[in-house]
Amino acid sequence: MSNADRFAQRIVQIDGVNQFVLCRHDGHVITHNMEDCDDLASVATICGINAQAIQKAIGFSGFRCLTLKRQGHHHCHIFPIDKYFLGIIQNPETAATELVEDVQKFLQTLVRKKPAPA
Amino acid sequence: MQQALDDLKAIPGVVGAAIYQAQQGVLANNLPGLFKPEKLAGMGKLLNKIFSAGRLSFNDLAETSLCYEEATLITREISEGRYIMVICDPAANMNLLSMSLKMALEDLRQPRSAAPAQSAVTPPPTAGQVVDRQSPEVKPEELMAKGPLSTPMKGMLQQLANVIGPMAEILFQDALIEWSKTFQVSITNLPHLVDLVCRDIGDNQKAKQYRDLIQSQLKLAAGQG
């Protein structure tokens, strides 16, 4: 099983994650669980890059998450992970704040497991 | 406009807010000085891109919430290409902020469609005063630059700047465009322009101050016209 498959297996276990796509900063899709992931991958990439640009322009630190709130409550959340962006469409019944916290906790475990540079 | 931003800033945890228009840049803000105008304009441009990209995929997009370690940035669209951006502490009460933001949006959207608030002071336009919608659009710059209205209008703008500060020019231009579309462009209709400006000032005390300051200028202009 590849790392991408392992990631996909874990991320869908988080309560409230309906659809997801993991893509590189250049928009290249790494893994997803959607029939057509192109739209979400594009949104995650464009919005993620612009969110990081705001961070640089204003001088904020640590871009954590971008939420696109929708009237139908199928909110879209975009998270930065190293040189990737993770885009998630949530279940409308789930509380957005809890989902964001759960995903961030999961992503932090990945960052911690990264081997230190030699 | 400024009043709506100040109301938002009164909420605990809110650092300040700004209104951004895609073509005109930042129209108003009450953020601390470290958010320099050029930085705010850059931020507005990037948020506009985020909102536009989101809208392409989700046509029911209502709000974007951008979380950084030390701040959260919330953006809502007032009308096409015009946004309100609020910067707050991540620990701020988001439900309270969300409700206040909705109320602010209602306020900001209202003036464009509502009747002038000062209509009791100046009688509504008669058939002769109202301009035919098909008539060519008058450019504010031309009205200010030449012709019989140039001097009184420059005076009106100057007094407005004395009352509300650097936002005066933008507010005056917006009111001037609306006035020229609704009324016949003439000295006798200048009181209607004053009404529109006072409505857009959005602060009764400042509106009264402006009206008092402008009174003598209008009398002088009417005497010349």
User: Which residue ranges make up each domain of chain A?
Assistant: 3-110
Distance CA A102, CA B139 (A): 55
Q: pLDDT band at residue A100, thresholds of 50, 70 and 90? A: very high
Does the pLDDT at position B120 exceed 50?
no
Does the pLDDT at position A116 exceed 80?
no
Question: Would you state the CATH architecture of domain B1-109?
Answer: 2-Layer Sandwich (3.30)
Of all residues in chain B, the one with the smallest CA distance to A101 is B67
What's the DSSP call for residue A36?
A: -
Q: What is the ipTM of this complex?
A: 0.90
| CB-based contact A63 B68, cutoff 8 Å | yes
Top-ranked range on mean pLDDT: pick from B31-35, B60-64, B110-114, B135-139: B60-64
Q: What is the pLDDT of residue B144?
A: 77
Q: Which of A81-85, A94-98, B11-15, B164-168 is the least confident region?
A: B164-168
Q: Would you give the distance in Å from CA B174 to the centre of its chain? A: 7
- Give the E-state strand segments of A9-110 in sequence order: 17-24, 29-32, 63-70, 76-81, 84-90
Identify from B46, B70, B73, B98 which residue to disrupt to test chain A contact, counting A C-beta atoms within 10 A and taking the largest count. Answer: B46
Fold of A3-110: Beta-Lactamase (3.30.450)
Contact of B156 with B197, CB cutoff 8 Å = yes
What residue ranges do the domains of chain B occupy?
1-109, 140-222
Angle between helices B150-164 and B168-182 (to 10 degrees): 140
Q: Which of A89-98, B83-92, B128-137, B148-157 is the least confident region?
A: B128-137
Question: Which pLDDT tens digit goes with each residue over B168-223?
Answer: 776 787 788 878 877 778 877 888 888 888 887 777 788 888 888 888 777 766 66
Distance CA A70, CA B180 (A): 38
How far apart are the CA of B10 and the nearest CA of chain A, in angstroms?
23
Continuous H helices in A12-95: 38-58
